[in-house]
Every structure is written in structure tokens, then in C-alpha cells.
Amino acid sequence: MTDRKATLSVGDKSIELPVYSGTVGPDVIDVRGLVQEGVFTYDPGFVSTAACESAITYIDGANGVLLHRGYPIEQLADHSDYLEVCYLLLHGELPSAEENKQFHDTIKNHTMLHDQMRNFFQGFRRDAHPMAIMCGVVGALSAFYHDQMDVTSQQQREITAHRLIAKMPTIAAWCYKYSLGQPFMYPRNDLSYSENFLQMMFGVPCEEYKPNPILAKAMDKIFILHADHEQNASTSTVRLAGSTGANPYACIASGIAALWGPAHGGANEAVLDMLAEIGDESNIEKFIAKAKDKDDPFRLMGFGHRVYKNFDPRAKVMAETAHEVLTELGLENDPLLKIAQRLEKIALEDDYFVQRKLYPNVDFYSGLILKAIGIPTSMFTVIFAMSRTIGWFSHWNEMVSGDYRIGRPRQLYTGSEKRDYPNT
């Protein structure tokens, strides 16, 4: 708490508001008392509003910093695997060796889906978007675990976390298999989290699947780098849904729905669409000129970030991983890669991009990696949702573990005043 105050003048009235400081980051002004004074704040998009208190993730966009429970994302990507990061986000501390093993074993024991879940998949058209299927199936999990959804129970919340972390790769891979008309592949407990995901995506029952360790490592890094990103649109959606007391599966489904929007989860797919539009290295200068022309609708996708006004700290990790994957697969001369490498060089050297800090972001590289592995663009956001589930759940868990109120944003009403119904 604090004894500092901010003073707001409204007409001839002065209102004193408390000022709080977090561990790091900007101070916040507590405006909750304004409603008693008959005024609200106006903040479309909530870009200047702290709607919650959280100890999970911190972003300093001006300096390119992303911390999970205090640990820089670069260090976690170098030293942890995805499940260790899940444990950190969920519990607040890195696990001991024994805790880490137990957590990995627990997740492996929850990877299978109830056999009746197959019926949910079969209810969709084969050409349905995988995100539509994932949103429906995750919401349907509440029908299978309705007896263990007491949000006030820490034990039941932890079991739910284990189920979601474990089952999301199975659900994601089955979305892909269903679109192909291929048999569903069941999870294998002898494989790591990322290896298991790849075998469920690309394995078939008629032969043994042997995961490529380079590709499995790349998938694990993609999972880590997308695990959480503070109070973004989908996380805020999960929190808002959770504030009503809704069950956690419904809340996660609401996050998936929010992530589906192209302004949120579709950025790496947009990068590949842009590279395909450019088509050839010989066209790059023309498209660079279009990008610089403020009257031209063309935009370079994968450069700059709404949050990071400097560099995206995840991008360096993804860049190194992209080169490892493309070298492993012998795709160094892939036409799209050549275009991407040239754009990357221009963005890092051209004054126009440097002055505006339009550096390549994580989406610029992740799309190239997923495409090289053989994952279709329709699955990109599904993999994003799978990775982000732990972040969504951690924020939901943090909220319901403490005192919280149902979300109820206000509005600036600009419609008609009260009027009488006309006589007829």
C-alpha cells in the first residue's frame, strides 16, 4: 500500500486517488473511488488500465524485456523445457529435480482423451477450421470432468491444470488428423512432450514414428516462447470469463476464441502470406517501397510489435532455432526463406526500419519453422493456443485463488436520451 496520492480535478471538484507501485514497471492510480463521485475513466482497449494485480509475467516493451516469475525468457528458453516452464508459471518457482520428474510423469499420465471425445470430432465437417474444432472440444471437456470443477478447491484446480497441459497436444494433433481423414494417433508415454506432439501429428499406425530431435527441440522452444504474454486480449478474456465463476474449461475455450482473431493469434500465418505475395527476391525492393509508402495498404508482417517498442526478446531465440531447423531439413535454399533472410537483413540495416524500431519479431521466424516442419498454416494458431493454455490457466488460477470481483466494464453512452414511444 502507499500514502501517495494523485489529484484529479473535475470541474470545481478535486478528487484524491491512491497511487501504488509494483515490483517493477509504471505506478498505477487507483480509480475505483471515481464511481462514487459520479465519473468513470475512458480507456478504449484498456491500454492504460491495470485491471488486475499479477505476479506471473512482466513485460517492459520499451527495453525488450519479458520475465516469467522474474526469469528472462531467453534464459528459460536456453535452460528449461516447456513442462518446466509450465511448472514455474503455475507454482511460482522452478521445480526441484524430484518435483520436475514428478510433474513430467503426472502430465504423461493425463495425455489420453476419453474415448467418447472421438464423437465430438466426428460431428465437425472435415474441412472445418482446426480452431473451431479446438474451441468446441476444449469447452466440451467440462462435460467429462463436471464432478471436479470446484474452483475454490486448490487440489481440483491443480488436477485441472494437469489435464489441460496434458490433453491440449492430443486435441491439437487430432484436429489435424481429422482434417486429413487419417486415424487418430494416441499419445506415447515414452516420448517427451514435444516429441509426443510430433508423433501424434505425423505418425501413422502402420509404422513406427521416430521423432527428429532437432525438430522436437524447435517445437519445445516454440511452446516456451508462446507460454504466456501478460495481460493480452485472450488472457484478459479468460480472466473476464473466470470472474463470473465459469468452469475453467469454458474459460480456456473463451481464450481460444479470442486468440482466433487475426489481430491476435494469426500473425505468423500472415508472415507466410506476405512472403508468398512477394513471391521472389527480385520483387523485394518494390515491396519495401510499398511498405514505406504511408498511402499504400501493404504492410510488412512480422516486423515490430505492439508491445515491444525495441526488440522482441523472443525473436533472437526463434531466429537461431529457425536456422537450425532449416539446416537440418536441407531447406537453406527455400525461396520463402531467401526472401525472409533478405527482409531480415534490410530491417536490421535500413534507416527507415531502424529508426522506427521495426525489428523482426517472434512471429516472423515461428511461421518459417512450422512450415518447414510440415505443419499447415491452418494449424499455426492451434499450436499457439496449445502453448498458451498454461499462461491462461495460471492467470485464471491466480485470480480465483484470491479475492476477485466479476468484471463489469463501464461505457461512455452516446445514444439517444430517454424518449417516449410515438403514438400510432
Any catalytic annotation for residue 363?
A: yes
Q: Can you tell me the distance from the alpha carbon of 396 to that of 389, in angstroms, rounded to the nearest whole number? A: 10
Residues 80/220, Cβ–Cβ less than 8 Å: no
- Say which residue the cell 492430443 belongs to: 170
The C-alpha atoms of residue 97 and residue 167 are separated, in whole angstroms, by 24
Chain position carrying cell 465437425: 124
Extract the runs of DSSP E, i.e. beta strands, from 108-230: none
Query: Of the listed 68, 220, 363, 395, which one is catalytic?
Result: 363
Strand order in the sheet with 13-20: 5-10, 13-20, 28-29
Amino acid letter at 371? K
Report d(CA 132, CA 143) in Å as an integer: 18
Residue 177, amino acid: K
229 is catalytic: no
> Is residue 3 annotated as part of the catalytic site, yes or no?
no
Task: Specify the DSSP class assigned to residue 303.
Answer: B
Give 3-state DSSP helix, strand, coil % of the chain, rounded to 5: 55, 5, 40
The Cα 67–Cα 54 span in angstroms is 13
φ/ψ of residue 17, rounded to 5: -125, 135
Q: Which of 264, 323, 334, 350 is catalytic?
A: 264
Q: One of 226, 305, 312, 395 is an active-site residue; which one?
A: 305
User: How many C-beta atoms surround the C-beta of residue 408 within 10 A?
Assistant: 7
At 226, list the grid cell. 508462446
Q: How far, rounded to the nearest angstrom, does the alpha carbon of residue 348 sit from its chain's CA centroid?
A: 26
Three-state DSSP class for residue 317: helix
Rounded to an integer, what is the distance from CA 371 to the centroid of its chain? 19
* Residue showing cell 501517495: 4
From the list 168, 79, 424, 50, the residue with the least C-alpha distance to 68 is: 79
Residues involved in catalysis: 264, 305, 363
